[in-house]
């Protein structure tokens, strides 16, 4: 890769003072940083005007492109009125309007919006709120959480505890609360000839047994509906969520749906839970909520949960949780503009065509000798590479095959960032069909580069 002096000088200044997320900084002794100066639609531009198609929506947050004119306009307008005010004791139009809109869009019964400022914080809120709900209802024993293997819910200690991605969790185990982990319905692991639905039903047996045994000490089950994104984009059938909803009701356990990554159209419906026809007791939203513009998250819950906290102050049942930037007006106005685009542009319908195009563009990869599976849920396609398909032998993680795919794609002008040996495409919804075809070609080359 050619690195110009302008790109190199920004990168050098960066490396003197910035510590990057999820990065072994020593890698940057040989791996150039990509200095981005500007974005437009699906494209990101570096200091030299070289462009990269953002094939992963900047870590799954961007929905309608970079520098989207409508979101920009909403933000400019809000900026002239009010940049921020605390949300305790005060309120403002953007947070009220956003809450009204979310309540109208979410499965019926989710009516109370509690804001935070990033996904992990929303998970912390959901965890604390569900424990506290049972405490307020006189059931202090219900303080444990059930989670799925290979799940991801964020990086702060509570969120890390209810997640299960080894790479992020292992080191910090001594600091984390103990949770009950149940095998994931992950359909990549199904027997040959078994459908996604059958496999998901079968895998529910472990969850059913766990709830039957532990319900008395469990506050909530937390799941990522349909796709375990950070866990290598592993997917499962909606039937699992339906069974889980029934079991949680039967055993008096709350259900937390972490739709931080899969919400806002990623799986083909506005919310993934819709595909199972269920309503969780708490839903966590962030990432796409602001169209990928600003940090904002929200936990939306039901009247019964809200009511358990609602009493005279002296009873000390209030949920005394806050963040400085809770419900920030700028972030809320970006979110409102994002929801306005969903309403006016029939995004979910257009995405159906884009998802079909993604499928066609990546279909041939299923025959690749080192591809074990090409799987898709809505606007997410994942390509599972292996050393040898016949025996199912995996690549040694130390070989860092994904990094080769990343570098190949960058050279072609696409930003793809594989999760280990899994290459995936999760583009912004403003992508054009022809750009999807091109991404498919890049993905093919990236797989070849990774497996070479
Ligand atoms: C990204 C993510 C989080 C954490 O959100 P942050 O804003 O990165 O803290 C939590 N849950 C899921 C499912 C996610 O994908």
pLDDT at residue 275 greater than cutoff 60? yes
CA–CA distance, 87 with 110 (Å, rounded to integer): 21
Residue in 226, 204, 324, 328 with CA at minimum distance from that of residue 273? 226
pLDDT at residue 301 greater than cutoff 80? yes
Can you tell me whether residue 70 is helix, strand or coil? helix
Looking at residue 298, which CATH number applies to its domain? 3.40.640.10
The residue with tokens 């933000």 is: 75
| Predicted TM-score (pTM) of this structure | 0.98
Give the CA angle between residues 319, 290, 407 to the nearest 5°. Answer: 120
Q: In 141-195, where does DSSP find H-type helix? A: 157-161, 166-169
Q: What is the pLDDT of residues 73-97, one digit of tens each?
A: 999 999 999 999 999 999 999 999 9
DSSP per position, 262-321: TTTTTTSSSSGGGGGT---SEEEE-GGGGTTSS--EEEEEEHHHHHTT-S-GGG--S---
Its domain, for residue 82, covers 72-345
User: Is residue 352 included in any domain, yes or no?
Assistant: yes
Confidence of residue 2 (pLDDT cuts 50, 70, 90): low
Same domain flag for 340 and 353: no
Number of folded domains that form the chain: 2
Same domain flag for 280 and 304: yes
> What is the number of the ligand 1 atom nearest to the C-alpha of 155?
9
Q: What is the pLDDT of residues 305-353, one digit of tens each?
A: 999 999 999 999 999 999 999 999 999 999 999 999 999 999 999 999 9
Same domain flag for 118 and 216: yes
> Phi and psi dihedrals of 165, rounded to 5?
-90, 110
Domain end position, chosen among 318, 345, 372: 345
**Ligand 1 binding pocket, CB closer than 6 Å:** 118-120, 123, 152-154, 224, 229-230, 258, 260-261, 286
Nearest-CA residue for ligand 1 atom 12 is 153
On the CB side of 16, CA atoms within 13 Å amount to 6
Percent of the chain predicted with pLDDT > 70: 99
Residue in 275, 321, 278, 266 with CA at minimum distance from that of residue 299? 321
> How many whole angstroms from 447 Cα to the centroid of ligand 1?
27
Q: What is the mean pLDDT of residues 393-409?
A: 95
What dihedral angle (degrees, nearest 10) is formed by the CA atoms of 224, 344, 439, 40? -110
């Amino acid at each position: 890769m050619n690195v110009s002096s302008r790109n190199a000088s920004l990168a050098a200044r960066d490396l003197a003072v910035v510590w990057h997320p999820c990065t072994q900084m020593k890698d940057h002794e040989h791996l150039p940083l990509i200095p981005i100066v500007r974005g437009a639609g699906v494209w990101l531009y570096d200091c030299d005007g070289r462009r990269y198609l953002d094939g992963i929506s900047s870590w799954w947050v961007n929905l309608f492109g970079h520098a989207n004119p409508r979101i920009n306009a909403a933000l400019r307008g809000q900026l002239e009125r009010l940049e921020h005010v605390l949300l305790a004791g005060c309120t403002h139009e953007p947070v009220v309007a956003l809450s009204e809109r979310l309540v109208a869009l979410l499965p019926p019964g989710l009516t109370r919006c509690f804001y935070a400022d990033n996904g992990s914080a929303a998970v912390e809120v959901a965890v604390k709120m569900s424990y506290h709900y049972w405490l307020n209802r006189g059931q202090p024993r219900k303080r444990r959480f059930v989670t799925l293997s290979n799940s991801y819910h964020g990086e702060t200690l509570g969120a890390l505890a209810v997640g299960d991605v080894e790479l992020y969790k292992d080191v910090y185990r001594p600091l984390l609360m103990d949770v009950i982990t149940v095998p994931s319905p992950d359909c990549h692991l199904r027997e040959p000839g078994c459908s996604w639905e059958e496999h998901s039903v079968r895998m529910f047996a472990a969850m059913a047994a766990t709830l039957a045994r532990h319900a008395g000490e469990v506050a909530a089950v937390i799941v990522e509906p349909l796709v375990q994104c950070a866990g290598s984009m592993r997917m499962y059938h909606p039937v699992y969520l339906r069974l889980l909803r029934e079991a949680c009701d039967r055993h008096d356990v709350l259900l937390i749906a972490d739709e931080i990554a899969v919400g806002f159209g990623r799986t083909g419906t506005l919310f993934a839970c819709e595909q199972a026809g269920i309503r969780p007791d708490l839903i966590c939203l962030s990432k796409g909520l602001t169209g990928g513009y600003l940090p904002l998250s929200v936990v939306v819950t039901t009247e019964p949960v809200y009511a358990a906290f609602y009493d005279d102050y002296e009873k000390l049942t209030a949920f005394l949780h806050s963040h400085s930037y809770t419900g920030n007006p700028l972030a809320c106005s970006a979110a409102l503009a994002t929801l306005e685009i969903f309403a006016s542009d029939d995004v979910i319908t257009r995405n159906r065509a884009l998802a079909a195009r993604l499928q066609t563009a990546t279909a041939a990869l299923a025959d690749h000798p080192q591809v074990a599976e090409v799987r898709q849920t809505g606007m997410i396609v994942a390509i599972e590479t292996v050393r040898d398909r016949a025996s199912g032998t995996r690549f040694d993680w130390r070989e860092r095959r994904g990094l080769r795919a990343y570098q190949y794609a960058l050279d072609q002008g696409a930003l793809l960032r594989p999760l280990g040996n899994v290459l995936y495409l999760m583009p912004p919804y403003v992508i054009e069909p022809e750009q999807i075809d091109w991404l498919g070609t890049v993905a093919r080359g990236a797989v070849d580069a990774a497996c070479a």
